Amino acid sequence: MSKIPSSLLSVPTLLTHVIALPAFFLGFILIYDSQWISSFLDAGLGIVFNALMLTCILIGVLCASRIPMTAVRTHLHLSWWLYTLWTFAEIIVFSAFAALYMALVYGDYGYFPALGNCLCISIAILLYPYGIFALLFPLIRPDEQEAGEEDLVRFADVTGRLKLVIAHDVLLYIEAKENYISIHYMEGEKQKEYSLRQSMRGIEELMDKHGIIRCQRSYFVNPRHVTVLRRDKEGFIQADLDIKDTKPVPVSPKYYEQLSKLL
């Protein structure tokens, strides 16, 4: 089964799950006023208080689950069935804690009867927003579709620590700046720049692997984004890129023929 789009592991998705799911859960209980749900929650301090407490438990479970998932998203490659299992695991864990709370509220009400009720309530309410989010986020943020492992460029600093992971097709060019390299790439519609303590020689093999070629002593360029090679007024060769407001990348005569063959 195919892997889920990376938009389902993004920060906006995290915020949506942590905020919108509990809001939907609480709103459903208070507005829909189901006789079955109301009779179960009408204990202790009443329906409203218990619904609020269950909502807080849900927020805690979602934070404990989704924050680590989002934090390691660049290394996490979930298939749809694993993501579905993860979703059901969140519902089960939430139901387990909710049942513990309700058993304490009822006093002599058993834990397992409360667990059965909490599971039924959770599934009945939460499957709708879970399903809607899984369908909508890949449509809303199509630019974040999961790149294949071979398409990811992994930049490490001089100590070998991984610092940046991007798809090779969003990389524009790399410029040497003293003891650092400046990586220019696209993130959605915005151009980003990341400074990394590394040398041009240190990333040369990595660039060759992903088809990013050296075009000048201090520059690598992604030929996928080069639209034309031209000479400026002083006679120097420049590579124009297909991204608006991006400065031309200098090309030395030594690398001109290699680059021109790729266009």
Q: Can you give the CATH number for the domain in which 190 is found?
A: 2.40.50.1020
Number of structural domains in the chain? 2
Look up the domain containing 97 and give its range.
6-144
What's residue 248's pLDDT? Answer: 94
Do 241 and 181 belong to one domain?
yes
Residue 251 domain-assigned (yes or no): yes
Share of the chain above pLDDT 70, in %: 90
**108, two tokens:** 């002599």
**CA 260/CA 228 separation, integer angstroms:** 9
**What is the pTM (predicted TM-score) of this model?**
0.55
> Are 106 and 210 contained in the same domain?
no
Please tell me the predicted confidence (pLDDT) of residue 241: 94
For residues 133 and 238, membership in a common domain is answered with: no
DSSP annotation of 119 reads H
Provide block-wise average pLDDT over 10 residues at a time, the chain (263 residues): 70 88 94 84 82 95 92 72 92 95 80 91 92 76 51 90 92 94 92 94 93 94 93 90 91 90 78
User: End of a domain among 129, 144, 159?
Assistant: 144
Is there a single domain that holds both residue 134 and residue 183? no
Same domain, yes or no, for 133 and 172? no
Residue 1 belongs to a domain: no
- Strand order of the sheet with strand 190-196? 190-196, 180-187, 171-177, 219-221, 213-216
- What string of DSSP letters covers 169-233? GGEEEEEEETTEEEEEEEETTEEEEEEES--HHHHHHHHHHTT-EEEETTEEE-GGGEEEEEE-T
Of 191, 251, 189, 209, the residue nearest 226 (C-alpha): 251
